[in-house]
Amino acid sequence: MSTVVESHDHGHHGPAKGLSRWLFTTNHKDIGTLYLWFSFIMLFIGGAMAMVIRAELFQPGLQIVQPEFFNQMTTNHGLIMVFGVIMPAFVGLANWMLPMQIGAPDMALPRLNNLSFWLLPMAFGILISTLFMPEGGPNFGWTFYAPLSTTYAPSTVNFFIFSVHIMGVSSILGSINIITTIFNMRAPGMTLMKMPLFVWSWLITAYLLIAVMPVLAGVVTMMLMDINFGTSFFNAAGGGDPVLFQHVFWFFGHPEVYIMILPAFGIVSHIIETFSRKPIFGYSSMVYAMASIAILSFVVWAHHMFTVGMPLAGELFFMYSTMLIAIPTGVKVFNWVATMFRGSITFETPMLFSIAFVALFTIGGFSGLMLAIVPADFQYHDTYFVVAHFHYVLVPGALFGIIAAAYYWLPKWTGNMYDETLGKLHFWLTFISVNVTFFPMHFVGLAGMPRRYPDYALQFADFNALISVGAFMFGLTQLLFLFIVIKTIRSGKQAKPEVWEGAGDLGLEWTLTSPPPYHSFTVQPQVK
């Protein structure tokens, strides 16, 4: 082990004061905090856009915004939620928790860490600023299919491309740091197959990121060339191929959706074992399941393109490979249930969110399986059924994982317990509104309402009104979450080191004080 573990007897234990603490910090906890707050702010910005969308769709007809602005809202909502909320939140959690879970003092590459974070506000500053430019921001959907995003795009698309490049650099640097940390800084005795599942999930995610972010960078660069330098990668009139865009995009895009769920798998596994007071069932099968999901995720991309006109053999191949992914996903669900079986279960807020995660993510998995069935997908594709599917895996999936993690580790981070009554209230309001919002989307989708529509036929009106009511309720409820987080930071019952009953045996993070010292483990613990 080459890492030098300093013994901190020279006096400057705490962080710097004021703004420079945050601008120049190389501390994993400070950077983690920055990531988490950034993601939280973006959640409200992206959420506000969703509110605009739902307000317009409350009734048939155009009443609040015009289609050109509506398209900018759907596009930026998607981009912000994917790249600005879910991904940064997971990186923030990785920053906070990886060193604490593997018994290290900090991340391996602290300056790189600072850079990866500060790139993000720049990227999103650029992206959001386009909304205030005369031609408006990106309006071609978060999947930005060419040629709508090239030949037919507003010229602000160049800012969008630049901003995607910066996000990509940030993700790649972050992943390098995470992989380096995990491989080099584990406490003695912590073999790979003894690593906590959250660490495993991030190790796999980081590899996925390194593999696919360059592909995303490649595709936006080709767009840049088409738009400004007269190439014709995606321009049919010049001999190019618009379908090529989709292949390259989804080669990035499908692994990307697993980037957004694997860390949540890790988190939920920890929470379920903690509150079932029973070790996770099938640890090694959990690890293998994540690894196989990650590998399979590279060979299913064209299931997003069943209607572009692939040959029969291609359609069947991508149907079968996609169905295969359901196996490891199912195994994970079975293992979570088996962990609860014969446990001694309590229902604190993180556990409630995790139980809801298992139930509702599974519903998203079922609709995913239905979407994989090519002939049926001819009817589902690009309707609200798909919108329902990915919101079930992303909101009660990824986002619930993040919220559960926040409740689970907040007492550790701040040293204060959160208010359990408010936490439960937050859970129930969220749980109800999430279902009121997204469940009826299955129905309108099946009945034939296409996605990315600012206006719709009359037979969809009732469900859309209901969906909008659910969405407003969901949006308001998250203000309660903000309140709870701030309240916990400022006050609350003093948290013990192990925080949760019996958690002391479950992971190294629970052996540290709450809040933990500025440099997590200055002496490496020994793992048995």
Partner 1 sequence: MAYIRKVFTGFILVLPLIFSSLISSESSDYNMPIGVTEVSESIFGLHMLIFWICVVIGVIVFSIMFWSLWKYRKSKGAVAADFDDNFWLEIGWTVAATLVLVWMAVPSTQVMVEAYDDAEGEINILITGHQWKWHYEYLEDEVGFFSNLSTSQEQIDGEVPKGEFYLREVDEPLVIPTNTRVRFLITGNDVIHSWWVPDFAVKQDAIPGFINTAWTNVPEPGIFRGACTELCGIKHAFMPVVVRAVEREEFDAFIAEKVALAEEERMLTSKVWTKDELMARGESFYATNCAACHQANGQGIPPVFPSLVGSQITMFDSNKHIEILMEGVQGSAMAAFGESYSEVDIASVITYTRQAWSNGEKGDGVIVTPQDIVAYKNRIDL
Q: Return the residues of window 240-269 that contact Cu ion according to CB under 5 A.
A: 254
Catalytic status, residue 142: yes
CB of 325 to Cu ion, least distance (A): 9
User: Cis (ω within 30 of 0) for the bond into 515?
Assistant: yes
Residue number with CB closer to partner 1 (6 or 68): 68
Residue number with CB closer to partner 1 (24 or 341): 341
CB of 13 to partner 1, least distance (A): 39
Rule CB under 6 A: is residue 371 a binding residue for ligand HEM?
yes
Site map (CB under 8 A) of partner 1, residues 245-284, x = contact:
-------------------------------xxxxxxxxx
Structure tokens at 134: 């005369």
Catalytic status, residue 258: yes
Rule CB under 5 A: is residue 452 a binding residue for Cu ion?
no
One-letter amino acid identity for 303?
A: H
Angle at 420 between CA 415 and CA 423, to 5 degrees: 105
Catalytic status, residue 171: yes
Which CA distances in Å does 511 have to 103, 269, 335?
A: 10, 19, 26
Who contacts 263 (Cβ-Cβ below 8 Å, separation ≥6)?
90, 93, 94, 198, 201, 202, 205, 401
CB of 58 to ligand HEM, least distance (A): 23
C-beta separation of 322 from 374 below 8 A: no
Question: Closest Cα to residue 268, out of 358, 337, 349?
Answer: 358
Stretch 402-461 residues interacting with partner 1 (CB under 8 A): 443, 446-448, 450-459
Query: Binding residue for ligand HEM (CB under 6 A) from 103, 147, 266, 365?
Result: 365
Rule CB under 6 A: is residue 257 a binding residue for ligand HEM?
yes
d(CA 43, CA 86): 9
How many residues bind ligand HEM (CB under 6 A)? The answer is 25
261 binds, among ligand HEM, Cu ion, partner 1, none (CB under 5 to 8 A by kind): ligand HEM
Stretch 310-329 residues interacting with ligand HEM (CB under 6 A): 322, 325-326, 329
Rule CB under 8 A: is residue 323 a binding residue for partner 1?
yes
374 binds, among ligand HEM, Cu ion, partner 1, none (CB under 5 to 8 A by kind): partner 1
Pick the stretch among 131-139, 172-180, 382-390, 477-485 that binds ligand HEM (CB under 6 A). Answer: 382-390
d(CA 209, CA 228): 28
Stretch 66-95 residues interacting with partner 1 (CB under 8 A): 67-68, 71
CB of 195 to Cu ion, least distance (A): 27
H helix intervals, 185-298: 197-228, 242-259, 262-276, 283-296
How many residues bind partner 1 (CB under 8 A)? The answer is 92
Cβ-count burial of 421 within 10 angstroms (0-12 exposed, 13-18 middle, 19+ buried)? exposed
Which residue is associated with the tokens 């972010």?
A: 213
Structure tokens at 144: 């930005």
Structure tokens at 375: 């002939």
Catalytic status, residue 106: yes
Residue number with CB closer to partner 1 (451 or 496): 451
C-beta separation of 522 from 6 below 8 A: yes
User: Residue 482 CB: number of other CB atoms within 10 A?
Assistant: 13
Stretch 260-289 residues interacting with ligand HEM (CB under 6 A): 260-261
Rule CB under 6 A: is residue 252 a binding residue for ligand HEM?
no
Q: In this structure, what DSSP letter does residue 396 have?
A: I
324 binds, among ligand HEM, partner 1, Cu ion, none (CB under 5 to 8 A by kind): partner 1
Catalytic status, residue 256: yes
Query: Binding residue for partner 1 (CB under 8 A) from 319, 387, 395, 404?
Result: 319
C-beta separation of 401 from 409 below 8 A: no
Q: What are phi and psi of 494, to 5 degrees?
A: -60, 130
Residues of the shown chain interacting with Cu ion in the complex, contacts defined by CB under 5 A: 254
Catalytic center residues: 77, 106, 142, 170-171, 254, 256, 258, 269, 303-304, 329, 332, 451
